[in-house]
């Protein structure tokens, strides 16, 4: 068992469990609360003292959100955008990471380019929002799914490049040399030999990219003007009306917004930790 | 089939040798192209706009936006808020994340479950997090005050989003709740990557757990720590989503961070020039901080 | 191994491989960009509306219109602040995404100033009319003219909101209080109720005499202006210089802080939802607000005070009380590609018949005939009061800088309510900031 963890004594063990339980409760309680809000009638939502467990449940908010209003459409849009931008970023970024990891470029370009790619994550999104809005407007891509995919790919690329670069550097060159001796081309070696080895890393990276794209708010807000391309976060924030905040609809949409990410991430959770530890964090 | 297509396209291209010299550049080019389009172009546009003033009869070149930076007290407080926010949140998130990582690195039953559960907050859309916490923090009807009331605490003065200091604290609290798992995840991965040997050596040497932690674990964890802190700092300096939903910068501008003020200036007042000028300041700030981290990372890499 | 070797012999060189990947990617993206801007044949209109009862009514109307005429109406719905931002960006960048926009009247000067709205008079003339008919309340139509009241017509009023004063008539009767006619009455009543009704709320808790919106920004300014005006203060003098720090202005702010003492704690961050929650849950006895809530008071799923709330016109002070007008207008962006079709819809939606439907959906109308319609008056007994209030109302200052001013003014009011600044300091600093904002525009 790695990492220096040792089984503590009985008292220590109890403490460990207690702390862990406390942490988990703190993490999940608000989520539970949101779930209950989505199932409560309005008059119960605001009741004091708060109704933790006993209340008259209703599915009205879910029906309202997904049947009456356009949240089903927002859900589909979010899904398409997240998957597409993750796929694009993975393909482009992995190739670039491979290029940066395996080939020695002149004038320290490897590190320089890698650092420049990372630095693009630094610019405050607020101000790129306006020029990108105008750019998309000129390209007649405003209010389309394509514009979001392009922008989110740009968000995900630095992350993919950095993660995958780390993973690639972990793998000894000899493996590829062996494959090439067998007659493989460079890229063939990549595909047949290396990629299977970094699958955990790809999975971890993919999950992060999906989360980033799925949850993004500012650019979705700026680049979408009608239901054509509106994503879930923007739709949810739109429930803040001038006179009342539609907590029920917001929570119902919020719960549904959470589920795909949770399911997917929990499925690859093992790989997440292992993948990260194999890669970038080793430096 | 696709290969046949591309072969047709590249008829006459040399065999492996010639293709290979160009290969790395070809591999990197698309990524660089996308990033240039999405970062250089906006940067250039922002520079142009920050040096212009649109006064109805065409644009003039002017430095007035930058001059205004010096006298704008709203901007100064926004920057101050951003820095304080980032410093506090980062410290707490780091300490908590480290603690949790060490805790859940140990052998225990249900470890997977605990780890999975702790990851939940950071997966939620920040907008949703903002909404949930806003409801919970509502001073009259929220569940936090409601629960406190039912155990007899007088919550009249506990207006979480109404008093400047409390609002600031609340906003940081929400950030800590959502992003500690992020640091936890990276540090946990880092811990798992440390091999057994150093620990065995330390055990043989008779080190206490604390000494082991300080002299074995922490140094080996350094790259993970640096990455976690770097990524988190960059995000903290430009925080927007959840604050926007929670308080919109109120009360009295107490929770207005730099990003919020820039957003309002650009989209509510339509003053893109000034917004661009302000964001250069923010960028400069982020740059300075990140350069520090990156220097440290580079030294780590070359080691 | 054997098969692999043979396969790898015929595999293309790296560059070829690479190109095929790029082709794959391009094919992947293509379907998405293509299938968005479809439907250019049948007539289509895109409306930007507000999330809330006003926008919902327009959404319903759009569905009816579609059923009647076959013209497809797409709705883009946003919350208040976002709607402003979306429309502003669309108008400034002239993207033509929206054919019709709903706008709150304080936004109008900024939108109209940039020449980004379509002048409606030529469109009326094309139909052989001089302009809108006389049935519209003059105060409402004046809002859609640029310059105010006298200029060309760029927008028609759709929702005729003007503030009302709400109070719990059962509580007032219980304590022998008269309907408040001045702000001093209000303060006295608030004090009395807060002191006596320490367990008067339905959940057994305290009842507060008054509740107000003091959340920074639009909320606090909207609730403050009636007090400000009643005290005799003005935001700008005759030359257009800011005068919020006049003695009257400072007195008004001081009064607001007094009133705040009898409001629920945390009111400094209250917006409409908290105020309505307090009224509906019965924990507050008086408030200013927009008539849209009247229907909620009678809804058992939302209200604990059915039948107990009364409304009256705005209390006065040194000057007679005048409500603040807050109409929702509809305009056609100049960049719209369907201006004529949009105008058809606009005229239809603001016709008396459609406005009556909108009224039944909870929106006060902007036509006199609809306010005095017998069926509606039976359903909404407050209509006579509302019509009087509307005709007598005054708008917030008509300046293209209103949003910045409201933001800055709101910050200082919020600081004063939070105890951070004294009323004098808050007003002085606000005045300086407003002067700076106006000065920048010169």
DSSP-assigned states of every residue in A226-272:
STTS--HHHHHHTTB-SS-B-HHHHHHHHHHHHHHHHHHHHHTHHHH
Residue C76's SS3 state is strand
The mean pLDDT value of chain C amounts to 84
Domain tally for chain B?
A: 1
Residue C44's SS3 state is strand
**Rounded to whole angstroms, how far apart are CA atoms C107 and C83?**
11
Q: Which of B1, B3, B5, B6 to mutate to test the interface with C (most CBs of C within 10 A)?
A: B6
Cβ of residue A225 closer than 8 Å to a chain B Cβ: no
User: Would B7 be classed as within a structural domain?
Assistant: no
pLDDT at A58: 84
Beta bridge pairs of residue C162: C325
Picking from B219, B171, B158, the residue whose alpha carbon sits closest to that of residue B191 is B219
Q: Has residue A47 got a pLDDT over 90?
A: no
Whether C44-161+326-391 shares its CATH topology with C164-325+399-440 is answered yes
Chain A residues 213-272 within an 8 A CB cutoff of chain C:
221-222, 225-229, 237-245
Question: Which range (B134-148, B177-191, B253-267) has the least confidence?
Answer: B134-148
- pLDDT tens digit sequence for C241-294: 999 999 999 999 999 999 999 998 878 878 887 888 888 888 889 999 888 777
Q: Has residue C10 got a pLDDT over 60?
A: no
pLDDT at C349: 93
**Rounded to whole angstroms, how far apart are CA atoms C169 and C191?**
16
User: Would B165 be classed as within a structural domain?
Assistant: yes
Question: Which range (A3-7, B152-156, B290-294) has the least confidence?
Answer: A3-7
**Class of CATH domain A69-282:** mainly alpha
By residue range, what is the domain housing residue B93? 78-302
Confidence of residue C17 (pLDDT cuts 50, 70, 90): very low
Confidence of residue C183 (pLDDT cuts 50, 70, 90): very high
| Cis preceding linkage at C147, omega within 30 | yes
pLDDT at B9: 46
pLDDT at C27: 52
What whole-number percentage of chain C has pLDDT above 70? 90
- pLDDT tens digit sequence for C378-389: 888 888 888 988
Query: B283 with A122: CB under 8 angstroms?
Result: yes
Q: For A26, list phi and psi in degrees, rounded to 5.
A: -60, -35
Picking from A163, A169, A144, A158, the residue whose alpha carbon sits closest to that of residue A220 is A144
Q: Which residue has the tokens 């740009």?
A: A154
Query: A202 with A156: CB under 8 angstroms?
Result: no
Q: Has residue B16 got a pLDDT over 50?
A: no
Picking from C272, C343, C284, the residue whose alpha carbon sits closest to that of residue C309 is C284
Cβ of residue B243 closer than 8 Å to a chain C Cβ: no
Min distance C361 CA to chain A CA atoms (Å): 15
**Rounded to whole angstroms, how far apart are CA atoms C260 and C255?**
8
User: Would B258 be classed as within a structural domain?
Assistant: yes
Query: A118 with A158: CB under 8 angstroms?
Result: yes
Q: Has residue A240 got a pLDDT over 70?
A: no
pLDDT at A205: 84
pLDDT at C42: 63
Q: Give chains near C: 3+ CB pairs under 8 A.
A: A, B
Q: Has residue C33 got a pLDDT over 50?
A: no
pLDDT at C187: 93
Beta bridge pairs of residue B60: B53
- pLDDT tens digit sequence for B253-262: 788 898 889 8
B chain contacts of residue A23, beta-carbon cutoff 8 Å = 100, 103, 114, 118
Domain spans, chain A: 1-58, 69-282
**DSSP strand pairing (C328-331 vs C309-312):** unpaired
Cα–Cα distance list, A53 to A35, A39, B104, B271 (Å): 11, 11, 30, 49
**Rounded to whole angstroms, how far apart are CA atoms A10 and A16?**
10
Query: C157 with C136: CB under 8 angstroms?
Result: yes
Domain spans, chain C: 44-161+326-391, 164-325+399-440
Q: What is the ipTM of this complex?
A: 0.79
Beta strands in A58-201 (DSSP E): none
What whole-number percentage of chain B has pLDDT above 70? 87
**Rounded to whole angstroms, how far apart are CA atoms C11 and C348?**
67
**Rounded to whole angstroms, how far apart are CA atoms B280 and A127?**
9
User: Would B30 be classed as within a structural domain?
Assistant: no
Instruction: State the Rg of chain B over Cα.
Output: 25
Beta bridge pairs of residue C146: C152
**Rounded to whole angstroms, how far apart are CA atoms B282 and B260?**
12
Q: Which helix (H) or strand (E) holds C159?
A: strand C155-159
A142·C95 Cβ contact <8 A:
yes
What whole-number percentage of chain C has pLDDT above 90? 40
Picking from B78, B300, C354, B130, the residue whose alpha carbon sits closest to that of residue A34 is B130
Say what the pTM is. Answer: 0.79
**Rounded to whole angstroms, how far apart are CA atoms A86 and A83?**
5
Cβ of residue C12 closer than 8 Å to a chain A Cβ: yes
C-alpha dihedral, A50 to A51 to A52 to A54, nearest 10°: 170
User: Would B115 be classed as within a structural domain?
Assistant: yes
Average pLDDT (A108-124) is: 79
**CATH number of the domain located at residue range(s) C44-161+326-391 in this protein:** 3.40.190.10
User: Would B11 be classed as within a structural domain?
Assistant: no
Beta bridge pairs of residue A58: none
Confidence of residue C334 (pLDDT cuts 50, 70, 90): very high
CATH of the domain at B140: 1.10.3720.10
**Rounded to whole angstroms, how far apart are CA atoms C208 and C166?**
14
C chain contacts of residue A142, beta-carbon cutoff 8 Å = 95, 97
Q: Which of A184, A242, A248, A250 to mutate to test the interface with C (most CBs of C within 10 A)?
A: A242
CATH topology of domain C164-325+399-440: D-Maltodextrin-Binding Protein; domain 2 (3.40.190)
């Amino acid at each position: 068992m790695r990492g220096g963890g040792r089984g503590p004594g009985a008292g220590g063990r109890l403490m460990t469990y207690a702390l862990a339980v406390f942490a988990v409760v703190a993490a999940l309680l608000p989520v539970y609360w949101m779930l209950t809000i989505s199932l409560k009638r309005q008059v119960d939502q605001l009741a004091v003292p708060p109704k933790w467990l006993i209340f008259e449940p209703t599915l009205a908010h879910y029906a309202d959100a997904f049947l009456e209003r356009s949240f089903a459409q927002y859900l589909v849009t979010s899904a398409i955008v997240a998957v597409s931008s993750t796929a694009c970023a993975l393909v482009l970024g992995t190739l670039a990471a491979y290029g940066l990891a395996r080939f020695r470029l002149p004038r320290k370009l490897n590190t320089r380019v890698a650092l420049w790619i990372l630095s693009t994550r630094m610019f405050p999104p607020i101000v790129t929002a306006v020029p990108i809005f105008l750019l998309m407007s000129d390209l007649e891509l405003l209010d389309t799914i394509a514009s979001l995919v392009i922008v989110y790919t740009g968000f995900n690329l630095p992350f993919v490049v950095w993660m995958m670069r780390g993973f690639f550097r972990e793998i000894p060159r000899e493996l590829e040399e062996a494959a090439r001796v067998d007659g493989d081309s460079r890229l063939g070696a990549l595909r047949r030999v290396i990629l299977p080895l970094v699958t955990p890393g790809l999975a971890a990276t993919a999950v992060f990219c999906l989360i980033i794209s799925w949850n993004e708010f500012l650019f979705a807000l700026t680049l979408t003007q009608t239901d054509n391309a509106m994503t879930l976060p923007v739709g949810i924030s739109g429930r803040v009306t001038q006179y009342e905040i539609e907590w029920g609809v917001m929570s119902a949409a919020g719960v549904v917004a959470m589920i795909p990410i949770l399911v997917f991430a929990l499925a690859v959770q093992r790989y997440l930790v292992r993948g990260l530890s194999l890669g970038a964090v080793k430096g | 089939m696709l290969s046949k297509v591309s072969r047709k396209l590249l008829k006459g291209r040399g065999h492996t040798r010639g293709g290979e010299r160009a290969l790395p550049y070809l591999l990197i080019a698309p990524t660089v192209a996308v990033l240039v389009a999405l970062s250089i172009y906006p940067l250039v546009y922002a520079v142009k706009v920050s040096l212009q003033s649109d006064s109805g009869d065409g644009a003039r070149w002017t430095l007035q936006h930058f001059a205004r930076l010096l006298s704008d007290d709203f901007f100064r407080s926004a920057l101050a808020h951003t820095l304080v926010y980032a410093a506090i949140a980062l410290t707490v998130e780091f300490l908590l994340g480290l603690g949790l990582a060490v805790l859940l690195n140990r052998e225990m039953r249900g470890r997977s479950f605990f780890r999975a559960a702790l990851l939940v907050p950071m997966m939620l859309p920040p907008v949703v997090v903002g909404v949930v916490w806003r409801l919970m923090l509502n001073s009259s009807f929220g569940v936090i005050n409601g629960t406190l009331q039912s155990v007899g605490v007088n919550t009249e003065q506990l207006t979480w989003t109404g008093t400047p200091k409390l609002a600031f604290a609340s906003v940081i609290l929400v950030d800590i709740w959502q992003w500690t798992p992020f640091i936890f995840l990276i540090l946990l991965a880092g811990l798992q990557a440390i091999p057994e040997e150093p620990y065995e050596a330390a055990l043989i040497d008779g080190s206490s757990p604390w000494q082991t932690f300080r002299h074995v674990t922490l140094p080996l964890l350094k790259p993970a720590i640096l990455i976690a802190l770097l990524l988190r700092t960059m995000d903290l300096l430009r925080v927007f989503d959840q604050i926007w939903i929670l308080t919109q910068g109120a009360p009295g501008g107490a929770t207005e961070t730099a990003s919020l003020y820039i957003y309002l200036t650009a989209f509510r007042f339509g003053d893109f020039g000034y917004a661009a000028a302000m964001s250069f300041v923010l960028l400069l700030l982020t740059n300075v901080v990140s350069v520090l981290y990156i220097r440290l990372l580079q030294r780590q890499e070359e080691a | 191994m054997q098969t692999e070797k043979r396969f790898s012999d015929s595999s293309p060189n790296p560059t070829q491989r690479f190109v095929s990947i790029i082709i794959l990617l391009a094919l992947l993206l293509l379907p998405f960009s293509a299938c968005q801007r479809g439907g250019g044949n049948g007539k289509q209109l895109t409306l930007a509306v507000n999330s809330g009862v006003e926008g919902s009514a327009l959404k319903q109307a759009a569905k009816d219109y579609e059923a009647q005429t076959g013209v497809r109406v797409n709705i883009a719905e946003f919350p208040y602040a976002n709607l402003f931002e979306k429309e502003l960006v669309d108008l400034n960048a002239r993207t033509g995404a929206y054919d019709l926009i709903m706008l709150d009247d304080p936004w109008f000067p900024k939108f109209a100033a940039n020449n980004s709205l379509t002048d409606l008079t030529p469109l009326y003339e094309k139909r052989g009319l001089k302009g809108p008919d006389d049935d519209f309340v003059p105060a409402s139509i004046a809002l859609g003219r640029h310059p105010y009241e006298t200029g060309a017509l760029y927008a028609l009023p759709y929702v005729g909101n003007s503030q009302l004063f709400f109070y719990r008539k059962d509580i007032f009767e219980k304590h022998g209080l008269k309907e408040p006619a001045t702000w001093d009455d209000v303060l006295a009543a608030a004090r009395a109720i807060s002191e006596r009704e320490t367990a008067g709320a339905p959940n057994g808790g305290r009842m507060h005499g008054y509740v107000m919106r003091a959340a920074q920004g639009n909320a606090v300014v909207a609730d403050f202006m009636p007090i400000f005006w009643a005290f005799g203060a003005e935001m700008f003098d005759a030359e257009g210089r800011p005068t919020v720090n006049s003695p009257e202005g400072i007195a008004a702010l001081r009064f607001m802080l007094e009133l705040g003492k009898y409001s629920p704690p945390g009111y400094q961050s209250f917006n409409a939802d908290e105020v309505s929650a307090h009224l509906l849950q019965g924990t507050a006895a008086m408030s200013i607000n927009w008539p849209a809530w009247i229907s909620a008071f009678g809804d058992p799923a939302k209200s604990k005070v059915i039948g107990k709330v009364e409304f009256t016109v705005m209390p006065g002070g040194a000057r007679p009380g005048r409500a603040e007008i807050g109409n929702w207008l509809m305009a056609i962006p100049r960049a719209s590609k369907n201006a004529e079709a949009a105008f058809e819809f606009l005229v239809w939606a603001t016709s008396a018949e459609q406005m009556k439907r909108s009224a039944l959906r909870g929106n006060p109308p902007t036509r006199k005939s609809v306010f005095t319609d017998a069926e509606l008056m039976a359903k909404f007994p407050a209509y006579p009061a509302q019509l009087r209030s509307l005709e007598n109302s005054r708008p917030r200052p008509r300046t293209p800088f209103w949003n910045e001013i409201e933001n800055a003014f709101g910050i200082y009011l919020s600081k004063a309510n939070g105890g951070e600044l004294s009323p004098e300091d808050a007003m002085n600093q606000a005045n300086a900031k407003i002067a700076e904002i106006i000065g920048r525009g010169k």
